[in-house]
Structure 1
Amino acid sequence: MGYRNRICRGIASSSIPSSNPQKPIQLHICRPSASLSDMDVISSPGLYPLHRCKTLHLVRHAQGVHNVEGDKDFSNYLSEELFDAHLTPLGWQQVDNLRKHVHETGLSKKIELVIVSPLLRTLQTAVGVFGGEGYKDGINVPPLMVENAGESNRPAISSLDCPPFVAVELCREHLYRLIGGVLVLQIDSDEDNLWEANYREKDEELATRGKKFLNWLWTREEREIAVVTHSGFLYHTLSLFGNDCHPSVKSEICTHFANCELRSMVIVDRCMLGSDPATTNYPGKNPSGLDLPSDVADEKLSNDKEGK
């Protein structure tokens, strides 16, 4: 489909918890409204061809040690030592709770791909939630996570019976640029273009990177994708959306995520930029003979009679 410089899509959402809004780009969220006042804001539901939609399951990482220290003193978030923080014991409990949820709801069977920021706290969260069961000796596949990775005191996690995982630099948190990034998957080149000494990425730059990430995401062939990333990245990216919908729907999109919160959203290609063919549409094939809609058939019959 090729890379696009402009995103021209909508995101519709459903969630688990939330907490605070901001600014958007071009979005169409339409839901059946529960009251007349709602109907004043949203005139009618919208329809989009299924093959022009993707479902995104967006997850913020579980509690990391940087969150604990940042609550004590916000300046700790700028600490180089905490840049690649690992999860806390509470964070691992949050991971276990979300893992239970995605299995009980059947979501774990629907996800075709897991995209994750290449920082340790997001990798631990993604693997803990969406990875295979405990790794056993003698299995001839590499584990997704080795035993006690990042001081986790957790057993190794298997890569069996789970979707593929792809770590992507574009969905990393605010870039503090104190150290070079983990080179995992660069979208445009093999260089770490996101690194620049002694410079913290501005919020608007983060939002631009988020838009670029969504453009790239649209080129993936998978239709149901989990993205495990960071609070700032999610907030500033999603705040590009939501102005043209009911305030309650906007608040579902444009609020900060809690640790290990999951929200499922639909991204819609409304600009005919996509080229993927529909896989479930069926044109309707009948034996021979006319098969006209009734109103067309009535008109044709009437015209035939007048012509006699």
Structure 2
Amino acid sequence: MAAPPSLYLGGSRHKLLHMVRHAQGVHNLESDKSRDPVTSSKFFDAQLSSLGWEQVRDQRKTVCENGLFQRIELVITSPLSRTLQTAVGIFHGEEVIADESGKVDVKKDETLTFNNRPPIIVNERCRERLGKYECDKRQSISQYRSRFPAVDFSLIEDEDDILWTADEREPRDEVIARGMDFMKWLWGRKEKEIALVSHGVFLQELMIELINSKKCLPLNMEGDIPRSRFKNCEIRSMIISYDSVMGLVSDSFAINNINHCGRIQYGFELLQRDSAKENVSVEDQVTSTNGFPDSTLTVRS
């Protein structure tokens, strides 16, 4: 059995973040052909497609089999239907679907035997790039609460969507600034291993910024994967440190091997094993050279 995250994430200095793009939405089917249709009210707050739900089921099975489901302490999600559906679908085993009349149908995965499902909270900072596209405009919080009663919406201050505008898309630098603000908020959470369910543009811009500024260590990724667009329902994982996220990063925190690979469910257990052999603490291993696991550690994928 995997050790609790608090035992292998370097005390209070590191967190393990699993970034999840929502599964395929009905708007994705149209946007693959042309960007114009997603400006239509037909795609307002787009839900998951039938393929999207298949992706959710497959990913739920994977996270249960590899032990991630049992280790996640908190799930943070964007307040849009497709991210909410993905979050509760993967981590609570529930499929929440609303028809055109608004009637909601909930299907539960009866094969899911884990009782300790992680809490899910909503944060508007991790929304998709704002503006222009109707699929990125949210409903009222009251509507979401009725559909997703197990989700915590207490961080949302405004009942209606006051962030989205029809005029133009949010500038890239503002998306990045919002992402970094989100990361600082996330660091204030007590949880050590967290899942973030968000959107393609937001996640891609956030990961590129963290990598370029040497503020994270991607895991299980090779070559240009960390900078590429997330696939629907894809999970990418990374280690973040207190010093880097809070803007205290120095040259000693430079990442020497950004393409470090590791199997998430075993990587930190190997750190524990190796630290025992060398008679040093996991904390010393993690921070000894660059603030992240040493690139010489052999953690095979």
Post-superposition Cα deviations, 1:232-278, rounded to whole Å, max 9, x if no partner, equal: 1101111212237799867342221001100111111126969xxxx
What is the distance in 2 between the residues matched to 1:130 and 1:180?
Answer: 22
Q: CA deviation at 1:168?
A: 1.2
Aligned position for 1:91: 52
Q: Which moved more, 1:175-184 or 1:261-270?
A: 175-184
Matched, 1:210 2:210: no
Matched, 1:176 2:131: yes
Counterpart contact for 1:53–1:268, Cα < 8 Å: yes
For residues 180 and 120 of structure 1, do their structure 2 counterparts lie closer, same or farther at Cα, with a shift above 3 Å needed?
A: closer
Q: Which moved more, 1:168-177 or 1:225-234?
A: 168-177
Aligned position for 2:122: 167
Counterpart contact for 1:57–1:225, Cα < 8 Å: yes
TM-score when normalising by structure 1 = 0.61
| SS of residue matched to 1:228 | strand
| SS of residue matched to 1:227 | strand
Matched, 1:221 2:182: no
For residues 102 and 271 of structure 1, do their structure 2 counterparts lie closer, same or farther at Cα, with a shift above 3 Å needed?
A: closer
* Equivalence map 1:16-165=2 (5 Å): 49-132=10-93, 146=96, 148-149=97-98, 155-156=107-108, 160-165=115-120
Q: Choose between structure 1 and 2 for higher RCO, CA contacts under 8 A separated by at least 6 residues.
A: 1
What is the distance in 2 between the residues matched to 1:104 and 1:160?
Answer: 15
**Structure whose residues are more often helix by fraction:** 2
Post-superposition Cα deviations, 1:158-183, rounded to whole Å, max 9, x if no partner, equal: 99530101011111111126656644
TM-score when normalising by structure 2 = 0.62
Aligned position for 2:241: 268
5+ residue gaps, structure 1: 1-47, 133-143, 275-308
User: How many residues align structurally?
Assistant: 214
Counterpart contact for 2:183–2:245, Cα < 8 Å: no
Counterpart contact for 1:86–1:150, Cα < 8 Å: no
What is the distance in 1 between the residues matched to 2:81 and 2:138?
Answer: 14
Give the CA RMSD over aligned residues: 3.2
Post-superposition Cα deviations, 1:27-66, rounded to whole Å, max 9, x if no partner, equal: xxxxxxxxxxxxxxxxxxxxx9442111111100011100
Amino acid at match of 1:199: E
For residues 78 and 160 of structure 1, do their structure 2 counterparts lie closer, same or farther at Cα, with a shift above 3 Å needed?
A: farther
1:194 aligned to which of 156, 163, 179: 163
Matched, 1:238 2:212: no
| SS of residue matched to 2:170 | coil
Q: Which moved more, 1:93-102 or 1:80-89?
A: 80-89
Highest Rg: 1 or 2?
1
